[in-house]
Chains A and B, each alone.
With several copies, the nearest count.
Chain A
């Protein structure tokens, strides 16, 4: 019932992008992904370790999901670029969720380095989806250097605070020529619905599902919430009024 959308030249029906980290176990990850209906799932790139999981994430998810590698944890342009190039080699995809962390406390991006790294990676042939602040000017700059989407944060990663500044998200959506994917901060279903109502094209969620008491139920909730918010955005909501307006007819009351 919700329309499909284009991301980096591919068409998707689900507007929910799922993170894969922090699930209690692998089965819950798989069940939650299924319940979410997501087409795209994120991955991180880390040094291999001999004790590492027997099964590789590629084998686990590579067939069923478009994997979106990230550069989580990188704090310099150099590390982000190399991590991106290793990700492309390892996952055989030029898609990249570019993260360039500027502060370990808030995990907020360093937007100055982010724009620089995005420009380098776009020139290197990547489809860059940058995790950025909710700054409309930074988002415009990222589009100018060739990013295929922007991923503004709603609140600090994993905080579950929802969308701290709906005004900025709405401004970004109103002016963006590329898809806007709300990333980070979602805590529950109404947050995801709100993101879509503000005009986002998709929502990226990890902790809110992985760390919920029942990840599979929450994944189902998020799937419905994203559809609900998307439909509501296009249905043309009633304006907010400071006063009441009766729904039932006002004439024909008995005794009147």
Chain B
């Protein structure tokens, strides 16, 4: 069976990409302010996105700020 990853709770087929590519694949602009990424419960700082490879079975969270109280 093919490897998968989970992005914001949804499974995706795994591909050998770094975080920048992943965001692009998700239709997001990596240059955009306010976006943050965590892989397997650890934050990946923006300056390490390009050098961080997505591994099979990674649990990935991609977040941004919304209105809040």
| A complexed with B | yes
A binding-site residues for B, Cβ under 8 Å:
19-23, 29, 42-50, 52-53, 56-59, 62, 67, 69-70, 72, 78, 82-83, 85-91, 157, 206-207, 246-249, 252, 254-256
> Do A72 and B68 contact each other (CB < 8 Å), given the known contacts A47-B63, A78-B41, A256-B9?
yes
Interface contacts beyond A48-B63, A50-B27: sample of 17 additional A-B pairs, CB < 8 Å, sorted by A: A19-B67, A21-B67, A44-B68, A44-B69, A45-B68, A48-B62, A50-B26, A57-B64, A78-B41, A82-B41, A86-B38, A87-B65, A90-B36, A90-B65, A91-B34, A252-B66, A254-B63
Residue contact A57 to B69, C-beta cutoff 8 Å: no
State whether the Cβ of B61 lies closer than 8 Å to any Cβ in chain A. yes
Residue contact A43 to B38, C-beta cutoff 8 Å: no
Q: How many residues of B contact A (CB 8 A)?
A: 25
Query: CA separation between A56 and B36, bound complex, in Å?
Result: 13
Q: Which residue of A lies closest to B8 (CB)?
A: A47
Query: CA separation between A42 and B34, bound complex, in Å?
Result: 14
> Do A46 and B64 contact each other (CB < 8 Å), given the known contacts A57-B34, A157-B69?
yes
Query: CA separation between A108 and B58, bound complex, in Å?
Result: 33
Residue contact B34 to A44, C-beta cutoff 8 Å: no
> Do A86 and B69 contact each other (CB < 8 Å), given the known contacts A47-B62, A48-B62?
no
State whether the Cβ of B33 lies closer than 8 Å to any Cβ in chain A. yes
State whether the Cβ of B12 lies closer than 8 Å to any Cβ in chain A. no
Chain A residues with Cβ under 8 A from B41's Cβ?
Answer: 78, 82
B17-69: which residues lie under 8 A (CB-CB) from chain A? Answer: 26-28, 32-38, 41, 43, 45-46, 61-69
Residue contact B33 to A56, C-beta cutoff 8 Å: yes
Q: Contact check: which of A46, A56, A85, A207 meets B38 at CB < 8 Å?
A: A85
Residue contact A45 to B69, C-beta cutoff 8 Å: no
Residue contact B43 to A20, C-beta cutoff 8 Å: no
Residue contact B63 to A90, C-beta cutoff 8 Å: yes
19 intermolecular pairs with C-beta atoms under 8 Å apart: A19-B68, A19-B69, A21-B69, A46-B65, A48-B28, A50-B26, A52-B64, A57-B65, A57-B66, A59-B33, A62-B33, A70-B68, A72-B69, A86-B38, A90-B34, A90-B35, A91-B65, A252-B8, A255-B61
Chain B residues with Cβ under 8 A from A47's Cβ?
Answer: 8-9, 61-63
Chain B residues with Cβ under 8 A from A67's Cβ?
Answer: 65
Q: Contact check: which of A49, A82, A89, A248 meets B68 at CB < 8 Å?
A: A248
Q: Which residue of B lies closest to A23 (CB)?
A: B67
Chain A residues with Cβ under 8 A from B67's Cβ?
Answer: 19-23, 29, 43-44, 57, 248-249
Q: Which of A48, A78, A90 neighbours the largest number of chain B CB atoms within 10 Å of its CB?
A: A48
Residue contact B66 to A45, C-beta cutoff 8 Å: yes
> Do A58 and B36 contact each other (CB < 8 Å), given the known contacts A43-B67, A46-B63?
no
> Do A70 and B69 contact each other (CB < 8 Å), given the known contacts A48-B35, A50-B26, A58-B33?
yes
Q: Which of A22, A56, A67, A256 neighbours the largest number of chain B CB atoms within 10 Å of its CB?
A: A56
Chain A residues with Cβ under 8 A from B63's Cβ?
Answer: 45-48, 83, 86, 90, 252, 254
